[in-house]
Structures are given as C-alpha cells and as structure tokens.
C-alpha cells in the first residue's frame, strides 16, 4: 500500500469487537484492492475471541492496529481518525466488505474531478437483510437532500469523508450513540453538497445494525431531532410520522423480534 503522488491517500478504518466470524472477509476486501494508495487501520475494542489472531495474521497488510477498551463506536472511530494520515477517510464495518477489488480505484479517479470544496463523496451499497432479501441503497443527492432534513439517507458504508471535514469538526460527536455520522454529514451540507458516484457499488453491507433495528428506531430518531435542534432546523411532518412508527415498533419489540 504505497503512496502515490498523483492520487489521494485513502484511509480505511475498521472498528471491531469480537468479530472473528466476519473480519477475515472484511480485511481481504481491503488488502485485495487494486488501488495502491491505501492506509488501513483497525481499532479493536478489546476482543476476547479469535479476532486478534486474525489481525496478527494479516499484520503485514495493516498500516496500524491497536486493541484497547473504548467508549463506544464513535470513540473508536475517532481514534482511527487521529491516527490516519489520509486525504479521505472511509469507515468499513467489521461484518461488511468492499464490493469488488476495483472500488477504491474508481472512487479515487472520481475524486480527481469533484469540486474543490467537496466534503462528502458517496456511492451505493448492497444491503443484505437478515431475511435474505437484498436491496441497493444510495440515490443521487438531488433526490434525497430534502429527506436528509428528517433522517439519515446516505448509506454509511458507501460514504467517504474528507480529511478537512473530520478536522473541522473534530471527528464524530461521541455524545451520540447512533446518529453521530448523521450529525457530521448534516454539518457538512451547510458548507457543500455531497457528490454521488452513480456508477460505483461501494460495499456489501450486512443488515441488522444497531441503527437499523426497528426496536432502536425511536432512539435514532430522537438523536436526529436533537441534531436538528442544534442546527436550528424545524421539525418536519415526516419526522413526526416516523417517530410515531418508532413508538409502535418500540412497544412491539417488548413482545417479539420486530427485525430491521
């Protein structure tokens, strides 16, 4: 993973805790990229399964890794940001993988032609639901920009953050447990609109994450509303409707698994 003078250094950060069942495919999807200018960082939260053995196996391909306790997902992600030297940062979950070996190269090529003030670049992701159904997530910015005023509509696993954005806001706000990435993107669009890379499927994403579970939707929406208040954004009818659904899902989750 050698540096290139002509293309940006892209830092990929994987945060993991007891991820031995899926981490190998995550790591392989990074180290098999045809693009050379990659810095790969793994932040382990103190795994007690076979995770560390996997990391050590691929140590020669990892730029930096550490295992230590943290204060949650966003705290661990911030650790990676503080270590990383990239021009752009990409956060790859330990149970997901980059879709194909040429993805980062395609994104890097696109980064050469975007407006200089761009802070967010994103593509689509393939979501594998726990039910077995697959759907593609990610639509052009013009289509989703109004919806972002209510909830997170950018696929996190398809999103690349500029170094300037992360330094401007000191990474992710760790007072949020679910929506810190949403807050950072909302802060970014006050400066410049995200750029959608329409011909790149960035990652294969496993459904069932904390923010996707219906039983957690109410907490997620509550955090989103807190962000809206911080940014002086008015409440929307769509948020009220989604919050009402969240209340129903929260009640149902007490009796059976309502899924994602």
Contact 141, 193 (CB under 8 A): yes
Distance CA 22, CA 227 (A): 32
Residue 185 CB-half CA count within 13 A: 26
If pLDDT is split at 50, 70 and 90, which confidence band does 93 have? Answer: very high
According to the CATH classification, is domain 10-209 in 3.90.550.10? yes
| pLDDT given for residue 1 in this prediction | 45
pLDDT at 72 over 90: yes
| pLDDT given for residue 68 in this prediction | 97
If pLDDT is split at 50, 70 and 90, which confidence band does 241 have? Answer: confident
165-183 average pLDDT score: 96
Question: 198: which residues sit within 8 A by CB, 6+ positions away?
Answer: 123, 140
The Cα-based distances of 23 to 63, 125, 170 in angstroms read: 16, 18, 28
Q: Which two tokens stand for residue 258?
A: 């309502």
The tens digit of pLDDT for each residue in 7-45 reads 899 999 999 999 999 999 999 999 999 999 999 999 999
Vertex 96, ends 90 and 102: CA angle to 5°? 60
Domain ranges of the chain: 10-209
**Residue 250: closest CA among 215, 208, 209:** 215
Helix axes 217-230, 237-252, angle to 10 degrees: 150
pLDDT at 208 over 90: no
High-pLDDT (> 70) share of the chain, %: 91
DSSP symbol at 100: S
Q: What is the 3-state secondary structure (H, E, C) of the chain?
A: CCCCCCCCCEEEEEEECCCCCCHHHHHHHHHCCCCCCEEEEEEECCCCCCHHHHHHHCHHHCCEEEECCCCCHHHHHHHHHHHCCCCEEEECCCCCEECCCCHHHHHHHHHCCCCCCCCEEEEEEEEECCCCCEEEECCCHHHHCCHHHCCCCCCHHHEEEEHHHHHHCCCCCCCCCCCHHHHHHHHHHCCCCCEEEEEEEEEEEECCCCCCCHHHHHHHHHHHHHHHHHCCCCCCHHHHHHHHHHHHHHHHCCCCCCCC
| pLDDT given for residue 161 in this prediction | 98
Instruction: Calculate the average pLDDT of the chain.
Output: 91
Distance CA 144, CA 257 (A): 30
Higher pLDDT, 152 or 80: 80
| pLDDT given for residue 214 in this prediction | 57
């Amino acid at each position: 993973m050698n540096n290139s003078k002509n293309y940006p250094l892209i830092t990929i950060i994987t945060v993991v805790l007891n991820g031995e069942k899926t981490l190998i495919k995550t790591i392989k999807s990074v180290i098999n990229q045809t693009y050379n200018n990659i810095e790969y960082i793994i932040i382990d939260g103190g795994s007690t399964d076979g995770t560390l053995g996997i990391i050590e196996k691929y140590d020669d391909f990892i730029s930096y890794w550490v295992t230590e306790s943290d204060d949650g997902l966003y705290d661990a992600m911030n650790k990676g940001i503080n270590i990383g030297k990239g021009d752009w940062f990409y956060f790859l979950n330990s149970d997901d993988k980059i879709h194909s070996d040429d993805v980062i190269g395609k994104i890097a090529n696109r980064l050469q032609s975007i407006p200089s003030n761009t802070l967010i670049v994103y593509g689509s992701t393939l979501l594998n639901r726990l039910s077995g159904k697959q759907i593609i997530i990610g639509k052009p910015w013009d289509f989703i920009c109004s919806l972002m005023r209510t909830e997170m509509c950018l696929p996190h696993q398809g999103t690349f953050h500029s170094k300037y954005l992360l330094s401007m806001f000191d990474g992710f706000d760790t007072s949020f447990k679910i929506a810190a990435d949403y807050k950072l993107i909302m802060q970014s669009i006050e400066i410049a609109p995200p750029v959608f890379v329409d011909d790149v499927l960035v990652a294969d994403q496993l459904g069932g994450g904390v923010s996707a579970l219906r039983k957690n939707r109410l907490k997620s929406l509550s955090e989103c509303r807190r962000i809206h208040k911080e940014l002086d954004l008015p409440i929307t009818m769509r948020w009220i409707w989604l919050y009402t659904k969240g209340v129903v899902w929260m009640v149902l989750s007490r009796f059976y698994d309502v899924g994602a």
